[in-house]
Amino acid sequence: MLLMAIWLLAACGTTPPTKFYTLSAEVPPGTPPANKTARVIVGIGPVEVAAYLERNQIVTRSGQTRLILTELDHWAEPIESNIANILATNLSRLLPATHPIARPWSDAEAEFHVLLKITRFDSDPAGEVQLNASWGIQGDRTHKIAVIRETSITQPSAGTGYEAITRNMSLALASLSEEIALELGKMTSASN
């Protein structure tokens, strides 16, 4: 009996393991360009996120002003790095004639730069994701921002668990990638 009581007490004191998540590229791969060496280099970044997102925990919203930080469900890397990498992957799939590189891109001499500031990127308790962002595309030759847009994307719920929420966030980011690709495609076509 004593051993059983000690075992039960020990079991009560263990903490469940932390689960780690990443965003994923939800844009299907495009047709590779015939000439891979002539691809336009696109720099992705800087990517800025609202201060409330700059943490390991996944943030959800339980009301207009109340945020919930998870205790055991965390991002596997800083969210702004994850967003930049997934955006680069999505854009390369949407625009196969480009070669997007997330910052830092060293001496790649990007012809265009995609600048992104996310002011909201979270889910409500039902799993619906809201993504609000300002973004622009800057030409390297002129250093002028040729395109400036505000985007608000609501991704309907695909479930309430964190696996479903993070996938839903990835789908919202895919929608943002499509908007950026539309403008970037016009600019890269005009530069060729």
Answer whether CATH 3.40.50.10610 is correct for domain 39-51+79-191.
yes
Instruction: Pick 9 or 120 by higher pLDDT.
Output: 120
Average pLDDT of the chain is: 88
d(CA 154, CA 175): 10
Reported as a single tens digit per residue, the pLDDT across 16-43 is 899 999 999 998 887 666 665 568 999 9
Reported as a single tens digit per residue, the pLDDT across 66-76 is 999 989 999 99
pLDDT at residue 106 greater than cutoff 90: no
d(CA 19, CA 31): 35
What pairs with residue 171 in β-bridges? none
Reported as a single tens digit per residue, the pLDDT across 131-162 is 999 999 998 767 788 899 999 999 999 888 99
- For 77, the token pair is 């890397």
Note the pLDDT of residue 12.
Answer: 62
Instruction: Pick 59 or 109 by higher pLDDT.
Output: 59
Note the pLDDT of residue 86.
Answer: 98
Model pTM greater than 0.85? yes
pLDDT at residue 4 greater than cutoff 80: no
pLDDT at residue 128 greater than cutoff 90: yes
Note the pLDDT of residue 125.
Answer: 87
pLDDT at residue 15 greater than cutoff 80: no
